[in-house]
């Protein structure tokens, strides 16, 4: 009766990528079939890190966007025994993004913004933040607003920045709330003070 959501009440099986209710999965572990995937019937008795990575890699090579994203995370952080390689993380994040994985697009944007795994490219960072933001990814919504506010990889556009930061703030992102307040303060300052060309002074407007 309840829609499964992998952030609240469901998990993704490493072997097949299928979603299963967390409560149902716990119940299966009490049966004789506890070492068998209830969805694809694969053997799940090996719960080692190496086995987990192998299953995820296999799914990623089959084109599973969630697995591509996870494999990118493993390379990004050196998790589950995978040797850290942020250049490979970029590759897998890009594959995930191109297959509609918003988290992959966000992480790829961060990689280009921060120069992790390759050179800094603010234009590509903004591109992937926008891609993820348009899919509703909250962190990317805020990051796109910041890029527009600062002119990082895009033309500075305070109105557009405020639009995205407002969306982030409404979704509960604290950074968006802070930066939206800064945008508003900057606009108030501009409306209060006007620059006099040639005089190198600001005039006060009532």
Are residues 104 and 94 in contact, defined by beta-carbon separation less than 8 angstroms?
A: yes
pTM of the predicted structure, to 2 decimals: 0.82
Write the CB contacts of 120 (distance below 8 Å, at least 6 apart in sequence).
112, 113, 114
Digit-coded pLDDT (tens) for 39-92: 888 888 888 999 999 999 999 999 999 999 999 999 999 999 999 999 999 999
**Confidence class of residue 96 from pLDDT cuts 50, 70 and 90?**
very high
8 Å CB contact between 12 and 6? yes
pLDDT at 204 over 70: no
Share of the chain above pLDDT 90, in %: 63
DSSP β-ladder status, 19-21 and 10-12: antiparallel
Higher pLDDT, 25 or 190: 25
CA distance 127 to 199: 40
* Other C-beta atoms lying within 10 Å of the C-beta of residue 203: 9
How far apart are alpha carbons 77 and 85 in whole angstroms? Answer: 8
Q: Give the Cβ contact number of residue 136 at 10 Å.
A: 11
Which residue is listed with tokens 């992937």?
128
CB atoms within 10 A of CB 50: 11
Kindly report which listed range (26-30, 52-56, 192-196, 197-201) carries the lowest average pLDDT score: 197-201
Output the six-digit token pair for 176.
């968006």
Give me the percent of the chain exceeding a pLDDT of 70. Answer: 90
What are the distances in angstroms from CA 160 to CA 73, 130, 136, 171?
31, 12, 16, 17
Phi, psi of 43 (to 5 degrees): -70, 125
């Amino acid at each position: 009766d309840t829609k499964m959501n992998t952030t609240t009440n469901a998990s993704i099986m490493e072997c097949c990528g299928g979603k299963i209710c967390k409560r149902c999965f716990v119940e299966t572990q009490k049966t004789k079939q506890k070492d068998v995937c209830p969805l694809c019937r694969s053997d799940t008795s090996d719960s080692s890190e190496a086995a987990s990575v192998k299953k995820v890699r296999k799914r990623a090579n089959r084109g599973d966007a969630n697995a591509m994203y996870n494999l990118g995370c493993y390379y990004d952080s050196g998790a589950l025994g995978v040797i850290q390689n942020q250049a490979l993380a970029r590759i897998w994040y890009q594959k995930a993004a191109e297959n509609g994985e918003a988290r992959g697009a966000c992480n790829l944007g961060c990689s280009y913004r921060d120069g992790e795994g390759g050179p800094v490219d603010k234009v590509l960072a903004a591109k992937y933040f926008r891609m993820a933001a348009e899919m509703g990814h909250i962190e990317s919504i805020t990051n796109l607003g910041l890029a527009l506010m600062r002119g990082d990889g895009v033309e500075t556009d305070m109105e557009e920045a405020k639009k995205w930061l407002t969306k982030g703030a409404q979704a509960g992102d604290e950074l968006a709330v802070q930066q939206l307040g800064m945008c508003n303060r900057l606009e108030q300052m501009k409306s209060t003070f006007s620059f006099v060309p040639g005089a190198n002074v600001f005039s006060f407007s009532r």
